[in-house]
């Protein structure tokens, strides 16, 4: 159980993940993909880009420093395919996917399926550890506790697959058996990263927002091959998180980022307000921080925040990372105060006390896929500055 709030991290101004890649990094990765550049040559270019993006974050007043996800092609990295029992499949049979999942009309960026008993392995941790160590090498030791690492969700390779396709029935007889091993793998990963000095982790989970989509829920419930309802599966996912968190080191800050899709050229996959899942999400999912997007009408309003308990934090994604138009500073500050009023209403506390549980950020990463969103580098810088300016207006003097 999450029994107390964490602060610093999270910070008042947060970046929830990826940054646009500089063109020279995209060119180097393309050359590497075409076997025209070596691993060492790519690594040197990545190192240079990471040093630059770390300085960018520092210059713009951000404290939860990440590496821009510059060593990854996609935001979820390489953790899942390197677990024992998981295998990446090229050209998967389309029939294994649930046709009503919101991203069904887009070719999966990567398909990994279970082929045997799932178990944590050093190979699964390798990339995470290397990414963490490089940031530790270039930042002063007193800043190491603020480093943020993003990792994929425990349900990432479950929801998309039809009943009976997520794992072989001769390996796991049920979802419950499957998730026992997934939970153990994630518990081990968090402990491994903690032992390496990580104190700030963000789990990226776009799938959770699919349960905000009434069409998805209806189609799921009408699928006679499913052995549970959509809401029962949602509850199972919450239980998976809570069992993972039951073994989480006490001073490891864990946040979950929810979004409605963030693919190439600002493509989104789903829509729907948090209302239908808000109570169960905010009150029952035992993490310290929720990074929630609130940048467009498809996300709904702030009313669900009335269910936020006093020991958790919400980072308000009120600045879009998808669209180049810059939000108005005064209007965005007003939106933060509007959100605080809903927290205040739900808890019976003052707006000032409610504000203490909030922070601001872009609603998602700027390049969950390495190709990036449909914005320019200057657009990204303006958005980052705006987030910091909003934080400084609402919480003057706080990091």
The reported pLDDT for the residue numbered 1 is: 67
Q: For residue range 297-328, what is the model confidence (pLDDT) as tens digits?
A: 877 899 999 999 999 999 999 999 999 999 99
* pLDDT score of 126 more than 60: yes
Tell me the average pLDDT across 52-71. Answer: 98
Task: State the pLDDT confidence band at 107, using cuts at 50, 70 and 90.
Answer: low
Angle at 12 between CA 11 and CA 15, to 5 degrees: 70
Domain segments of the chain as ranges: 23-394
The reported pLDDT for the residue numbered 78 is: 96
* pLDDT score of 362 more than 90: yes
Task: State the pLDDT confidence band at 160, using cuts at 50, 70 and 90.
Answer: very high
Tell me the average pLDDT across 111-118. Answer: 96
Can you read off the two tokens belonging to residue 8?
């610093």
* pLDDT score of 295 more than 70: yes
The CATH T-level fold of domain 23-394 is TIM Barrel (3.20.20)
Place of tokens 């800050």: 253
The reported pLDDT for the residue numbered 104 is: 52
The reported pLDDT for the residue numbered 264 is: 63
Mapping DSSP onto H, E and C, the string for the chain reads: CCCCCCCCCCCCECCCCCCCCCHHHHHHHHHHHCCCCCHHHHHHHHHHHHHHHHHHHHHCCCCCCCCCCCCCCECCCCCHHHCEEEEECCCCCHHHECCCCCCCCCCCCCCEEEEEEEECCHHHHHHHHHHHHHHHHHCCHHHHHHCCEEEECCCCCCCCECCCCCCCCCCCCCHHHHHHHHHHHHHHHHHHHHHCCCCEEEEECHHHHHHHCHHHHHHHHHCCCCCCCHHHHHHHHHHHHHHHHCCCCCCCEEEEEECCCCEHHHECCCCCCHHHCHHHHHHHCCCCEEEEECCCHHHCCCHHHHHCCCCCEEEEEEECCCCCCCCCHHHHHHHHHHHHHHHHHHHCCCHHHHHCCEEEEECCCCCCECCCCCCCHHHHHHHHHHHHHHHHHHCCCCC
* pLDDT score of 106 more than 70: no
Sign of CA dihedral 259, 52, 137, 139: negative
Q: For residue range 219-252, what is the model confidence (pLDDT) as tens digits?
A: 999 999 999 999 999 999 999 999 999 999 999 9
- Provide the whole-model pTM: 0.96
When the pLDDT of each residue in the chain is averaged and rounded to a whole number, the result is: 95
* pLDDT score of 353 more than 80: yes
* pLDDT score of 105 more than 60: no
Q: Residues of the chain with pLDDT > 90: what percent?
A: 89
């Amino acid at each position: 159980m999450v029994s107390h709030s964490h602060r610093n991290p999270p910070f008042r101004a947060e970046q929830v993940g990826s940054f646009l890649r500089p063109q020279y990094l995209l060119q180097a990765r393309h050359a590497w993909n075409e076997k025209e550049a070596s691993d060492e040559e790519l690594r040197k270019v990545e190192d240079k880009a990471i040093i630059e993006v770390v300085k960018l974050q520092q210059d713009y007043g951000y404290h939860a420093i990440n590496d821009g996800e510059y060593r990854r092609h996609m935001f979820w990295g390489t953790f899942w395919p390197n677990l024992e029992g998981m295998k990446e499949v090229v050209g998967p049979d389309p029939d294994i996917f649930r046709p009503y999942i919101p991203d069904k009309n887009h070719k999966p960026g990567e398909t990994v399926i279970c082929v045997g008993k799932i178990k944590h392995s050093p190979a699964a941790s390798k990339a995470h550890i290397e990414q963490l160590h490089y940031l530790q090498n270039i930042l002063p030791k007193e800043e190491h506790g603020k480093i943020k690492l993003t990792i994929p969700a425990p349900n990432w390779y479950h929801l998309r697959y039809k009943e009976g396709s997520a794992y072989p029935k001769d390996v796991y007889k049920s979802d419950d058996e499957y998730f026992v091993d997934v939970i153990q793998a994630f518990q081990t990963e968090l402990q491994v990263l903690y032992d390496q000095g990580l104190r700030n982790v963000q789990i990226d989970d776009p799938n959770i927002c699919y349960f905000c989509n009434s069409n998805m829920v209806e189609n799921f419930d009408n699928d006679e091959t499913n052995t549970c309802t959509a809401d029962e599966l949602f509850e199972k996912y919450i239980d998976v998180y809570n069992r993972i968190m039951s073994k989480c080191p006490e001073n490891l800050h864990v946040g979950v980022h929810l979004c409605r899709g963030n693919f190439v050229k600002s493509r989104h996959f789903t829509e729907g307000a948090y209302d239908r899942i808000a109570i169960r999400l905010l009150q029952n999912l035992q993490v310290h921080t929720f990074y929630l997007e609130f940048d467009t009408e498809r996300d709904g309003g702030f009313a669900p925040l009335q269910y936020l308990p006093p020991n958790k934090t919400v980072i308000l994604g009120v600045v879009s990372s998808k669209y180049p138009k810059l939000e108005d500073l005064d209007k965005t500050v007003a939106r933060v105060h509007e959100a605080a009023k809903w927290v205040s209403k739900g808890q019976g506390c003052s707006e000032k006390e409610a504000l203490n549980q909030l922070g601001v950020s872009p609603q998602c990463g700027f390049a969950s896929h390495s190709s990036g969103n449909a914005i320019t580098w200057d657009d990204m810088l303006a958005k980052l500055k705006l987030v910091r300016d909003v934080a400084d207006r609402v919480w003057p003097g706080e990091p």
